[in-house]
Chain A
Amino acid sequence: NAGVTQTPKFQVLKTGQSMTLQCAQDMNHEYMSWYRQDPGMGLRLIHYSVGAGITDQGEVPNGYNVSRSTTEDFPLRLLSAAPSQTSVYFCASSYSNLGSYEQYFGPGTRLTVT
Chain B
Amino acid sequence: KNQVEQSPQSLIILEGKNCTLQCNYTVSPFSNLRWYKQDTGRGPVSLTIMTFSENTKSNGRYTATLDADTKQSSLHITASQLSDSASYICVVSLGNQGGKLIFGQGTELSVKP
CB of B79 to closest CB in A, whole Å: 25
Contacts of A42 in B (CB 8 A): 4, 89, 102-106
Q: Please name the residue on chain A nearest to B93 by beta carbon.
A: A100
Residues of A near B44 (CB, < 8 A) are 43, 90, 105
* A99 adjacent to chain B (CB < 8 Å): yes
- Interface contact B99-A99, CB-CB below 8 Å: yes
Say yes or no: A103 contacts B46, CB within 8 Å. Answer: yes
Q: Does A40 contact B (CB under 8 A)?
A: yes
Say which size band chain A's interface belongs to.
Answer: 20 to 34
B98 touches A97 (CB 8 A): yes
Contact of A102 with B49 in the complex, beta carbons under 8 Å: yes
Confirm or deny: B82 has a beta carbon within 8 angstroms of a beta carbon on chain A.
no
A107 and B40 CA atoms in complex are apart in Å by 10
Chief secondary structure at chain B's binding surface: strand
Do A105 and B45 touch (CB < 8 A)? Answer: yes
Instruction: For residue B48, give the distance in angstroms from its CB to the closest CB of chain A.
Output: 10
| 20 CB < 8 A contacts A-B | A4-B43, A40-B105, A42-B4, A42-B102, A43-B44, A43-B89, A43-B101, A48-B98, A50-B98, A90-B44, A96-B99, A97-B98, A98-B99, A100-B32, A100-B51, A102-B46, A102-B49, A103-B34, A105-B44, A108-B43
Given A43-B103, A92-B43, A96-B99, 20 more contacts at CB 8 Å? A4-B43, A40-B105, A41-B105, A42-B103, A42-B104, A43-B89, A43-B101, A48-B98, A50-B98, A90-B43, A97-B98, A97-B99, A98-B98, A99-B99, A100-B93, A102-B46, A103-B34, A104-B46, A106-B43, A108-B43
